[in-house]
Amino acid sequence: MKFEELTDEEWELIEPLLPPPAPTGRPRADDRKTLNGIFYVLTTGCKWMDMPGEYGSYVTAWRRFRRWQEEGVWDAM
């Protein structure tokens, strides 16, 4: 299966389903970039640590994947 990044139309549908960033603390990594990284790993089957750097930190992507799983974000999508 070929990986394709989210289109603007897809992002407009998904963005409201994501939890808001914490009001304090360090700014959160870009959700769209991170989500594209998660989809890259899930689509290609590569290891998290082999995720291209253009999608940010693979550790951030993995943690976000797990957090969103626990918060029901994937079910909402």
Distance CA 26, CA 42 (A): 27
Higher per-residue pLDDT: 26 or 41: 41
pLDDT tens digits, residue range 57-74?
999 999 999 999 999 999
Percent of the chain's residues with pLDDT above 90: 87
Q: Would you state the torsion angle of the CA atoms of residues 40, 38, 15, 76, taken in this order, to the nearest 10 degrees? A: 110
Phi/psi-derived region of residue 63, left when phi > 0, alpha when psi is between -120 and 50, beta in every other case: alpha
SS3 6: coil
pLDDT tens digits, residue range 37-60?
999 999 999 999 999 999 999 999
